[in-house]
Amino acid sequence: MKPGAASRQAVCRPIPPQAAWIPVFRPALPTAERLAPFLAIIDQTRQYSNYGGLVGRFAKRLSETLGLGADGVRPAVSGTLALLGAILASAGRASPDRPLALCPAHTFVATANAAEMAGYQPYFVDVDVNSWLFEPAMARNHPALDRVGLVLAVAPYGQGVEQAAWAAFSRDTGIPVVIDGAATFERLAAFPGELVGQVPVALSLHATKTFSTGEGGAVVCADRGLLDRATAALNFGFNGERISSMPGTNGKMSEYHAAVGLAALEAWPETQAAFDKAAYTYRRQAEAAGCGDRVVTAPRIASCYTLYHARDAVEAAAVENALHAARIEYRHWYGPGLHLEPAFRSAPRDELPNTEQLGRCLIGLPMAPDLSTQEIFRIVAALDAGLRGISGHDEEGNNG
């Protein structure tokens, strides 16, 4: 929907014609200089993959960083493959009598991709409009439960998903649960007691996440046996010997990506401080502009995201037009809902009103560890311009 007056007014705001676009995310991974010592190790050992020394070191250090001791983490080639490894290790492949995987529709497509790779038919469920989560109580009462072989709980935008209620659900129903905690690196490190346990969590270490190895992922779990099975699943099902003993694929992290991960862990305190500063500046400027209650930053969500939570579709469109006019990139990180993606159109699903509302109203704003005060000023000014373009909004917006 194109709001006529609102968009024209936004376009009329004075914007320097030569202003460079601000990208929605501007990752900063370790420099060549910081990588060099780790790459030199690879030159010496000439081990490039197959769970070599650097992957082992990275797994241990990541596990310690998350407060899980030495062996709570198994690296993977991506977050999507970490999900697949966790699924195969906990639920195995889909069975004919339980072919369905309950999957919230407000997530990134990878959640459903991983379920399909393990043979499950995704069944899309809605999320709570306030928590943005598919909650354990919603799963317990689901009418299709006797045909469900897997539940995917998603931690949207890096919010934590608590273990206790999902572990109880799994115990009571016998249905395995896997948490897509792609962007939860910071939350896991802050609350390992609540967020890590028997239910496996898949992390993404993709470049658009707060902590990254370029491409990468990890399975995080307190159950050592499950972690061993995930490791085997991501190595052709090989369990120690070259005998394929369970469903598997190649989802191993390479030594090169582990090198990036080790250098990124060394730089993590600086990275974290830089993201904190950007989030703080966003919050302060949004409050000054009267839209502090609509701009969502860390620590509620992961530092790689800043979201504008529009009240409705009209406000979302006005804000989007103003951002575009000011040459500011934005993104609906999870799209309109997985049920509206062509690949998943035919999947069974519930009514999804909250998914559709959140898909329209949660607008990803630019974020970067080095996002400058100047850039944030430009972004918040564009939000303000968009909001002023909606009649009657002014008085309302300034109350926040």
Ligand X SMILES: *Cc1c(COP(=O)(O)O)cnc(C)c1O
By CB under 6 A, is residue 206 in contact with ligand X? yes
Residues 118-177 that bind ligand X (CB under 6 A): 154
**Given candidates 7, 9, 204, 303, which one binds ligand X under the rule CB under 6 A?**
204
**Given candidates 7, 63, 90, 107, which one binds ligand X under the rule CB under 6 A?**
107
Instruction: Please tell me the distance from the alpha carbon of residue 249 to that of residue 82, in angstroms, as a whole number.
Output: 11
Shortest distance in whole angstroms from residue 214 CB to ligand X: 10
By CB under 6 A, is residue 184 in contact with ligand X? no
Residue 136: C-alpha distances to residues 102, 104, 157, 192, 397 (Å): 11, 12, 18, 19, 35
250: exposed, middle or buried (Cβ count in 10 Å: 0-12, 13-18, 19+): exposed
By CB under 6 A, is residue 180 in contact with ligand X? yes
Q: Retrieve residue 242's tokens.
A: 């070259």
By CB under 6 A, is residue 183 in contact with ligand X? yes
Backbone phi and psi for residue 282, each to the nearest 5 degrees, phi listed first: -55, -50
Q: For residues 382 and 326, is the Cβ–Cβ distance under 8 A?
A: yes
**Given candidates 7, 63, 80, 357, which one binds ligand X under the rule CB under 6 A?**
80
By CB under 6 A, is residue 108 in contact with ligand X? yes
By CB under 6 A, is residue 254 in contact with ligand X? no
* Nearer residue to ligand X within complex by CB, 107 or 231: 107
Residues known to be catalytic: 209
Residue 336: C-alpha distances to residues 13, 307, 308, 330, 340 (Å): 29, 15, 15, 14, 6
Dihedral-angle region of residue 51 (phi above 0 means left; psi in -120 to 50 means alpha; beta otherwise): left
Instruction: Please tell me the distance from the alpha carbon of residue 24 to that of residue 114, in angstroms, as a whole number.
Output: 26
| Residues in contact with ligand X, shown as a per-residue x/- string from 39 to 78 under the rule CB under 6 A | ---------------------------------------x
* Nearer residue to ligand X within complex by CB, 175 or 338: 338
Residues that bind ligand X (CB under 6 A): 78-80, 107-108, 110-111, 154, 180, 182-183, 204, 206, 217
